[in-house]
Amino acid sequence: MIGKGPTTMNDSVFAGSPFLRESADVDHRAGGTRSALRVRHDRAATDVRAAGRAGDRTAVIDATRRLEQVLAAARRELGPRDTDTLVVEGSLAVAYLLGDDEIRGLALATRNLTVREVEFGADHPASLAAADAVAAAHRITGDPREAIARYQDVIDRRTRVLGPAHPCTIASCAGLALARADNGDLPGAGSLLAAIADTAEGILGEAHPVTVDVRELLAEASVPDAPVPVPGPAPAPTREAPSTGLLPRMPRMPDPRLSARPWPHLDRPPGPMPAIS
């Protein structure tokens, strides 16, 4: 939940791979309006993450609609560059990505990063959280090379700002391992993930959320490939890339363009975007 104090990151999950959720500064000028928006945001963001992990497309869409409403209200009541508004915007970008609206998700995540860097500076923890999200978005949208470069940049800066043992830094390292697997470096990715898991357990402890997530990824990576099925008719083509057998990919929802029933929600614009100079 967004709470008092300086901008910090809390532990959470981005659909099976480590992702860090942040909190924003308290601004008493907004009073009850800000508090109410935070409650609505936290509920919707929690539902997005839970539905993403469960592969529940209907729940993702419902939570995404609520985040759109919260973002519209935050932009109107708090302003497009307010810290809390930027938190909601980042959560909505994740929701779009989980809902398979990849172009909109990447665009919104990138715009969110740009505004944060202008408002807080490139090395502020809030900006680094957004940069990590953009790296994940590039991996999800099928650009692992760009994701690798961005993850490495985030790791370098988080190591300098937060230290190598910080949960945020460790989570970004896990994201880098996934991106390397998507780029075809399966042995290197597996070795890196194993090392990250040992580091997380030794530094953060077995019960820490980041440790749990990394261990889950490593367990999935250790499962051998399924037996080759008996040849038969070729399956219908899908957007999902073949599983590497080593590291899990971002779970995707069914493509709405392949469904007989349209999903109007995914075609509706999210509202006015903040002007970025």
* Domain residue extents for the chain: 9-223
What's 249's DSSP letter? P
pLDDT in tens, 100-151: 899 999 999 999 999 999 999 999 999 999 999 999 999 999 999 999 999 9
pLDDT in tens, 151-206: 999 999 999 999 999 999 999 999 999 999 999 998 888 899 999 999 999 999 99
What's 13's DSSP letter? E
Predicted TM-score of the model (pTM) = 0.70
pLDDT class for 58, splitting at 50, 70, 90?
very high
Question: In the chain, where does DSSP find H-type helix?
Answer: 31-54, 57-77, 83-98, 102-120, 125-140, 144-161, 167-182, 186-204, 209-221, 264-267
Q: Tokens standing for 118?
A: 């202008």
Residue 219 class from Cβ within 10 Å (0-12 exposed, 13-18 middle, 19+ buried)? exposed
What is 9-223's CATH number, 1.25.40.10, 3.40.50.1010, 3.10.20.90, 3.40.50.300? 1.25.40.10
pLDDT in tens, 59-107: 999 999 999 999 999 999 999 999 999 999 999 999 999 888 999 999 9
